[in-house]
Chains A and B, each alone.
Chain A
Amino acid sequence: MVQSDAWSTLLASPLPWLTITVGAYLAGQELHRRSGGNPLTQPVAVAAALIVVFLLITGYPVQAYTQGTVPLRFLLGPATVALAIPLYERRHLIARTWLPLSAALLVGCLTGVLSVLCLARLFGLSDAMMRSMSPKSATMPVAMEVSAQIGGVPTLTMVFVMATGVVGAALIEPVRRCLTGVDDRGLGFALGLAAHGIGVGRAFQTSPVAGVFAGLAMALNGIATALLTPAVLALFH
């Protein structure tokens, strides 16, 4: 259904694809706001779905779109580096609660990766799937980089990361009810560690304290996952 030459020339350059991406994301954000922050209407997922529909209707191949949005992927690196800034701003909080923070970080990060490896074996998942899922609790840019490094498929990792965020945010209430002695700090830390950005959003709904600890956990677990996942995977095999 690709018709005129003018269109094909235009769509060979990145600009229209970037515009479409940003437009679809804004639409997704608007839907997310109207639905009252329902975790099922993640702006990224909505935007991706809109673009998939657009590609199906116009008949453009996915490759054209992926190539057109290469500039966006270049931004992921600097964005990961930028995670250092919120971490620096919370340095006093880190210094005050370093013991529970580091203990929970180590336990949480190892549990997150190891549980995937064990369960994947139990349920007979393929090796590529297991590798792609193991960094699922880390924040997206880190998870995708780790996945590429350990032989996973970054696009699959993205799906798992997103699903983990949604599932984690939904499960925190039942988990909290089963445990005793969990305060807002521990709750927030667990949400940020296990469910990254989506968990942080969920934690802020509980209390500001939970939200701050969730943000901290997300940044710390990004680093911990990058450090530990390759090692854990090597030991597991």
Chain B
Amino acid sequence: MIVRFLAVPLPGAVVGCAILFSVVLVRGRLPDGLKTIADGLLRYLPVMFVPAGVGVMADVQRLQDEWGALLATLVLSATITLAATAWSFGAVTRLASRWRERGNGSV
């Protein structure tokens, strides 16, 4: 609803996630009931994907048609993403600690 109102191209649930995060952050503590519900939902999250997995049956043909290009894109993209993330995390960590040693900047 908020998404429609603001006309931002975002999934409503992600906005909900951000709102919930801000609310608990402002309140400074987590209500017990909320934690129980969240833990329960997240523990059984995979079950919710089973129907979508079955729904793939209908798309098998399309996957078969392009499987080579799909696989190549997926594997290469995963490799590049892993490497770029791990590398940038390490590089910025080193950069930050070097700044701190020099004493300029309060990172």
Residues of A within 8 A of B (CB): 21-22, 24-25, 43-45, 47-49, 51-52, 55, 62, 65-66, 69, 72-73, 75-89, 91, 97, 99-101, 103-104, 107-108, 111-112, 115-116, 119-120, 123-126, 128-129, 133, 136-137, 140-142, 144-146, 148-149, 153-156, 158-160, 162-164, 167-168, 171-172, 175-176, 178-179, 181-183, 185-187, 189-191, 193-195, 197, 217, 222-223, 226-227, 230
Contacts and interface: CB of A to CB of B under 8 A. Distances in A.
Contacts of A86: 38, 42
A194 B79 CA distance: 9
Given A124-B69, A186-B93, A227-B10, A155 B86 contact: no
A230 B83 contact: no
B105 to A, nearest CB: 10
Interface of B: 9-14, 16-18, 20-21, 24-25, 30, 34-35, 37-39, 41-42, 45-59, 62-63, 66, 68-70, 72-94, 96, 107
B11 A146 contact: yes
A78 B11 CA distance: 12
Contacts, number: 284
A126 B17 contact: no
A203 B52 CA distance: 26
